Structure 1
Amino acid sequence: MTAFNRSSLEELLKKRFFYAPSFQAYGGVAGFYDYGPPGCALQSNIIDLWRKHFVLEEEMLEMDGAIITLADVLKTSGHVDKFTDWMVKDVKTGDIFRADHLVENVIETRLDGDKQARLTTENDATSQKDKKKKKGTVQAVKLEDSTKAEYEEILAKIDNYTGTELGEIIRNHNIKSPETGNDLTEPVEFNLMFESSIGPTGHLKGYLRPETAQGQFLNFKKFLEFNNDKMPFASASIGRSFRNEISPRSGLLRVREFTMAEIEHYVDPNNKKHVRFDEVKDVKLSLLPRYIQSEGKTVPVELAIGEAVEKKIVDNETLGYFLARTHLFLTMLGVKPDRLRFRQHMPNEMAHYACDCWDAEIQSSYGWIECVGCADRSAYDLTVHTNRTKEKLIVRESLAEPLVYDKTVLEINKKIFGPKFRQNAKIVEEYLTNLNEEQLEALKKELEDGNGKTMVSCADGNQYEISSDFLTIQKQTITEHVREYIPNVIEPSFGIGRILYSLIEHVYWTREGDEQRAVLSFPPRVAPFKCLLVPLSNNPAFSKLTRDLSSKLRKLHISIKVDDSSNSIGRRYSRNDELGTPFAITIDFQSVNDGTVTLRERDSTKQIREKIDTILQVLNDLVDEDVTWEEVLSKYPTFVQQELD
C-alpha cells in the first residue's frame, strides 16, 4: 500500500458524492454538509450496528425527543451559562479562531518543522531557495530542546487550559493569525448554542438542542415506570444536534449540525457495579489517564479494563463496561485498534457535571480526534431538574429492614413566614429548602451566633434577614421503610459523523503499483452497498437473469448496485471498489447456459464460480459476517479470470 494522501481521498469522496458542502450553489456555509447516496447508506449502517450493539443487546429504552429545546431547560442544565469555547480574533481582519485549536495547530506545525530539520543532514545539497518556506508546506526549523519539551507539554495539556492561560501561551510563544500574521485578541468565551424563538410572538425562547440528553432526563419517570420501576436501566436516543462552532474546519470532524447517538445509563449511586462486567473485564484498551497527561506525556498504557477499574484508574465498573463496549463497537466498524485510544479528561477540562470522563479518540490525518465521550455525570442533571420543576426524578426502593438515622431537618412556620416576606416568600423558601444538611447546620450556627438572626443571599441577587422566629433547624430521628435516591448517570455519547469520517480514513488504500485505483475496505456489515451486480455487457440475453438476481438479492435484504454500463468489467469493478462494495456478482454467457455466476471479493480480487443459489447463500453468509472470505476460498475452488481494464 502507498502512503496515505488526504487530498486524494477528499477528491474521491467528492467525486463519488459521499458528502458535499451544503448550499454550494449559493457559496456554502462552513460547518454544514449534505450526505450523498453512499454517505447516507454508510451513516445508516453505522447507526443500525450501533442500535444492535447497544440498544438491542443491552435492552435499552429508546426515545426520539424534540430538537427545539425550551430555554429554561438548558438554563437549568447549565448549558446557557457554561456551554462555551474560547475564541480569538485577528485584530485587523476580524477573522475568528478557536483559541485552543489555533494553539494546537501552530505548536504541532512547529514540532513538525523541528522533526524535519533534525532529519536534514549537514551535507544536504538543497539550495537556500528551496529551503524557503512554501505555501502549504512546513518550514524546517530546529527548536531548542527546552522549547521542544515545553511545546510537547502544551499539547499534552491543551484541553486543560483556561482562557487566561491560552492568552499567555499565545503571547509567550508569538502565535499570530495563521493567514495574515497579525496579532490576536485576548481569548473570550463564546456560547455554542443556536438561539431560536417559539411561536409567533417570539416571547418564548428556545435553542436548537446541543445534545439529546436533556430530553431523556426529563422523561426519566416515564422510563422508570415503563421499566416496571427496576434499576439499573438505560435510555437511548439517536438524532440531530447543533453547535454553533467558532470556526468549523476539518470537514466532518467539526460541524455545526450533526448526528449523535447517546446513552443514559441510570445506576444506584451506592452501587456502580455492572452485572455483565465479567464479560468484558479482559478487553484490553489503550488508556491515557490524567496522571500521564499531567506529566506532559501522551504515550498511553495498555490495560485490561478489569485491571483499570481495580486500580481506580477508571472510576467504576459501569463506566469501565461502556468503555470496553465502545472499543468493541468501533473496532467492529473497521476502526484500527492501534489508532484508537481512551483519554481521561483533565480536571479543568471536566464537564461541570462529571466526576469521571473518558474520550474515545481516533487518530486520523487531523490528529487524535474525540469521537465518543464516556462520562459519569453523577446525579447532576436529575437533581437540577428536580430542584427547578419540583417534580421528583427519583427512585423509590422498598427496604427489607427499616433504615433508622439522624438527619438535620428544616421546618418553616408558614403562618409567620408568608406575611414576613410577602411577594418574595417563594424565592426565600426555595433558597432554604434547597440547602443540604451541611448548609443547614451552618445556617443554624449563624442564627445562634447572631442572636436568632442572619442574612442570606437568594437567587434574585438580594439579601434577606432570616430569623429563628419563623423556622427551626434540628436533628430528627428518621425511620425509612422506603429508600429514595436520585440515580447517577453514566453517559456514552457518540458523534456519528466523526466516527464515519475516521472510519473512511482507516479503510482507504490504493492498489499497489496503481495509485489511481482506490479502495475503501469497509467491513460488509457497514459497507454502503453490499454487492455489485455486473452483466458482462448490455446484451439482451443478460436482462432476465439480471432482473431475477436483483429480485432475489432484494428479498435477502442485500443492498445492491447494478452496473450495466458500457465500461470494461475491470473499470466497473474499480469504480465500486471506490465505493467500498465488498462483493460483486458477474453475469456472462456461461451464466445464461449453465446458471453459474462468479462472486468477486473486493480486497483480494479473487473469485469463485458456482450455481446461483450457492452464490446467494455464500453471499448472504458473508454479508452477515457469519463466514470469512478465507473460509469461502477453502471450501470452493478459486475461479481464475483476468480483470480487464
Structure 2
Amino acid sequence: MAATEEELELLRKELVGMKEESEKQGELVRALKGKKVEKKEIEEAVEVLMKLKLEVQTKEKELVAKVGSDGGKSSNKETFRQQLNDTLTNRLFFIPAFKIYGGVAGLYDYGPPGCAVKANVLALWRQHYVLEESMLEIDCPCVTPEVVLKASGHVDKFTDFMVKDEKTGMCYRADHLLKDYCNEALEKDPLLTAEKRQELKGVLSTLDELDAQQLGAKIKEYNITAPDSKNPVSDPYPFNLMFKTSIGPAGNSIGYLRPETAQGIFVNFSKLYYYNGNKLPFAAAQIGQAFRNEIAPRQGLLRVREFTLAEIEHFVDPEDKSHPKFKDVADLQFLLYPRKEQLAMEKPVKTRIGDAVSQGIVNNETLGYFIARTYLFLKSLGIDEERLRFRQHLPNEMAHYASDCWDAEVECSYGWIEVTGLADRSAFDLKAHSDKSNEDLTAFEKYPKSKEVERLKVTPHLKLLGPAFKKDADTVGKALLAMAEEEALAMKAKLDADGQAPLEICTTGKTFTIKKEQVSISKEKVVETGRRFTPAVIEPSFGIGRIIYCMYEHCFYTRPSKSGDEQLSVFKFPPIVAPIKCTVFPLMQNEKLNDVAKRLSVDLTRAGVANKIDITGTSIGKRYARTDELGVPFAITVDFESLDAEREDATLRERDSRAQVRIPLEEIATVVRDISEGRLAWVDVLSKYPHVAPSHED
C-alpha cells in the first residue's frame, strides 16, 4: 500500500533527528581524539557513532522504499509516455521532420492519421466557434513586416531567458532548467523536508514571474548545471524567439515569420468592422501557422518551432462586456483555479461559471462565456474533465494592459500543460496599431437622440511648439492630444500654478517641459450624436498541436490480447475526431465477400464517412487490433450470412466495448455516419439492432 504524505513526512523528521544525533556523536569522537583520552573511551564513542550511522542508513532505506511504494508514478509516467510515443510514431501520427538528415529539434511531420486527426479537430473548432458564433474568418500571410510587430511589442519584448554551457556553448532555457530541478527533487528526492518541498513548490508557482537576475540567483543557489555535460552555465539573458527574414531581393525590408496570428486580425479591424455593418460586438477568427525559434524545444508536439494556432479576437464595447448567450452556459461547472487559491497553494475547485462571473472572479460575461465554450470544446475532443482546469494568471504574470487572463490547462505525463489562453486584452492592440500607423481603428455608437455633453478640449499651439521642440514638435503635439482627461486636467492645474508642466512621452522615454502659452486646455459644451471609442478585445488563443497531443494522452490505453501474452494499444478517440471512422473487413479471402465489402466502402464514402477496407485475409483479431491502434471507432465485418438474400446484413463492432450488432447492409453507412457526426449514440444502436456474440478472436 502506498505511504501517505503524512507518513512520509514523519519518516523524514525522524531521519533528520537521527542525522543530528549522529553528527553530535561525530563531534564528540573528534573532541575525544583531540584531548588524547584513553583509547577505550574513544572506542566506545566510535562504537556508538557507527551504531547511529547504521540506524541512519536503515531509516534512509525505509524512506526510499516508502517513496517507491507510491506506485512508481514517475517511472509509470515515463513508461506510459514511451508506449504512447512508440504507437504515435510507428503508426505515423507524427514523426521527426527531415529524419534521414538527422532531423531538426522542434520540427515534426504529420503522417496520414495525424493529418486526418488535425483536420477533424480544426473542422470541429470551426464548427464550434466560427459557425456557431457567426465569426468572420480571415487568412493572413505568415511573413509579417517589422513595423507591425514593432507596434505590437514583439520586436522588443518577445523573449525567453537563455543560459549557455560555459564550456560547450549549448543553449538552454533558464526557467526550464530551474523547473526540471524542482520537479525532479520533488518527485525523486526522498530526503526533502516539508519546508524544502514547500520552498520548491513556491518556486514552481512563481516561475513565470522571475526576471533574469532572480533566475540566475536560483540557478546558483541550487547549483544547477547543464543537463548534458554537467558544466556550469552562464547568467541568464534575453533571447528573441522570432525568426527574422528579409522581404524582397534587396533585403532592405525586414520581416519576421509571425509568432501568432492575431496581428493580422487587428490590422484589418476597420475592414472587418465595415463588413459587419459597423456593428459591435463581433468576432474575427484565424487558423494558421505560427513560428517561434525555441531555445531548446522538447516534449514532442508540446513545444515546437512551427505550429498551428486557432485564434479569436472578439471586439466589444469596453463599457459593456455582457454576452447575450452567457445564460446558456452559466450553469456549467468545471475546475477553476483563481489566483487567490494559487497564492494560498490550495487546489482548484469545481465552480459554476455563472457564480464566478457574478462574484467578480472572472472579469466579465464575455470572457466567462468563452471559458465555458472552451471547456465544452476540449471535452468534446475526449479530454478528461477531471484533468482539465482553468487557471487565472497571477497579477505579475499579466500584461499591464490586460483586465483578466485565464489559461486552459490539461494534465498529462509532463504535468499541467497550457493549451488555450483566454484574455481580456482591453483596447491595447488597436490603440497600438492606430498610434503606429496613424489609421483610425475605432468604432462609433450612435445615440438614440443627440445630447449636450461637456468635453475637454486640448489645443496644442503648433507655431510655438515648432521653434521650442524642433524635430520633436510633432511628437509633442500628438502626445498632448492623446492625453487622458485626468492627465490633461492635472497638466492644466500645473500650468496655471507654475506656468509650466512636464510631459513624459512613454514611447520615447523623454520628458519635455510644456509652457502655458504652448497649449490651451479647457472644457466646453458640445452636442454629440454618438460616441467614438476603441473597442476592447477578448482573445481565446488555441495551440492546436498541444491540444492534439493532450488528446492523444487522454485517449490512449492498453488492454491484454485474447491470449494475454501482450498488451494492445488503443486510442479511444471520439468518432468525430477519429482519423478513420470505420473499417470494412470481409471475414476471409473470398471474392463474393470482397465484392460486398467494396460496395459497403463505396456507400460509406458517398455518405462522407472516412473508411478503410482491409481484404488482406489476416485474422479478424489482428485486423481489429490494427484499427484499434489507429483509434478507428467502428468495424464492419462481412461474413457469409451477409450473402444470404433474406438477411443481407453485416456485423458492426464498437472499438471500446467491443460489442457487436447486426445491421442491414442498406442502413449501415447511414448509421455509421450519424454516430460519427454526433446525431446518434452507440447506446441507441444497441437498443435498435440485434446483438451478436463477439468473435472468438476479439
- TM-score over 0.5 for the pair: yes
Report the alpha carbon displacement of residue 403 of structure 1 after superposing the two structures with TM. Answer: 4.4
1:183 aligns with 2:228: no
Shifted more, 561-570 versus 431-440: the winner is 431-440
Aligned to 2:455: 407
Structure 1 Cα separation of the partners of residues 259 and 502 of structure 2: 41
Aligned to 1:488: 536
1:211 aligns with 2:264: no
**SS of 2:265's equivalent?**
helix
Q: Contact (CA 8 Å) 1:161, 1:348: kept in 2 or not?
A: no
Structure 1 Cα separation of the partners of residues 239 and 370 of structure 2: 32
**SS of 1:165's equivalent?**
helix
| 1:416-443 Cα deviation digits (max 9, x unpaired) | 4446555443233233333222332343
Match of 2:660 among 597, 607, 615: 607
Aligned to 2:7: none
1:102 aligns with 2:181: no
Report the alpha carbon displacement of residue 333 of structure 1 after superposing the two structures with TM. Answer: 0.8
Match of 2:672 among 619, 622, 629: 619
Structure 2 Cα separation of the partners of residues 191 and 450 of structure 1: 45
**SS of 2:297's equivalent?**
coil
Aligned to 2:434: 386
| 1:244-294 Cα deviation digits (max 9, x unpaired) | 111110000000110000111111111111111111111112011111222
Report the alpha carbon displacement of residue 643 of structure 1 after superposing the two structures with TM. Answer: 4.2
Structure 1 Cα separation of the partners of residues 115 and 155 of structure 2: 32
1:366 aligns with 2:417: no
Point out where structure 2 has 5 or more consecutive residues left out of the alignment. 1-75
Which residues in structure 2 correspond to 1:145-544 (within 5 Å)?
145-295=194-344, 297=345, 299-418=347-466, 421-452=469-500, 466-512=514-560, 513=564, 515-544=566-595
Q: Contact (CA 8 Å) 1:90, 1:183: kept in 2 or not?
A: yes
Q: Contact (CA 8 Å) 2:409, 2:420: kept in 1 or not?
A: yes
Structure 1 Cα separation of the partners of residues 400 and 176 of structure 2: 21
User: Larger relative CO (CA 8 A, sep 6+): 1 or 2?
Assistant: 1
Q: How many residues align?
A: 618
Aligned to 2:162: 87
- CA 1:243/1:353 → structure 2, altered by over 3 Å: closer, same or farther? farther
Letter in 2 for 1:71: E
Question: Radius of gyration: which is bigger?
Answer: 2
Aligned to 2:136: 61
Report the alpha carbon displacement of residue 464 of structure 1 after superposing the two structures with TM. Answer: 5.3
Structure 1 Cα separation of the partners of residues 290 and 77 of structure 2: 37
Report the alpha carbon displacement of residue 623 of structure 1 after superposing the two structures with TM. Answer: 1.2
| 1:159-208 Cα deviation digits (max 9, x unpaired) | 23222222222222222222232222222111111111111111111111
Structure 2 Cα separation of the partners of residues 52 and 4 of structure 1: 36
Point out where structure 1 has 5 or more consecutive residues left out of the alignment. 115-140
Structure 2 Cα separation of the partners of residues 615 and 287 of structure 1: 42
Match of 1:629 among 654, 671, 682: 682
| 1:527-558 Cα deviation digits (max 9, x unpaired) | 00000111223432234323322221111000
Match of 1:560 among 601, 608, 611: 611
Letter in 1 for 2:317: D
Aligned to 1:585: 636
Structure 2 Cα separation of the partners of residues 251 and 622 of structure 1: 32
Letter in 2 for 1:96: C
C-alpha RMSD of the superposition: 2.2
**SS of 2:517's equivalent?**
coil
Shifted more, 329-338 versus 409-418: the winner is 409-418
Structure 2 Cα separation of the partners of residues 634 and 179 of structure 1: 59
User: Normalising by the residue count of structure 1, what TM-score does the alignment of the two structures yield?
Assistant: 0.91
- CA 1:435/1:596 → structure 2, altered by over 3 Å: closer, same or farther? same
Structure 2 Cα separation of the partners of residues 34 and 167 of structure 1: 36
Q: Contact (CA 8 Å) 2:578, 2:632: kept in 1 or not?
A: yes
Aligned to 1:597: 650
Letter in 1 for 2:385: P
Structure 1 Cα separation of the partners of residues 326 and 509 of structure 2: 48
Shifted more, 89-98 versus 50-59: the winner is 89-98
Name whichever structure is richer in helix by fraction: 2
- CA 1:441/1:250 → structure 2, altered by over 3 Å: closer, same or farther? same
Structure 2 Cα separation of the partners of residues 82 and 58 of structure 1: 33
- CA 1:517/1:607 → structure 2, altered by over 3 Å: closer, same or farther? same
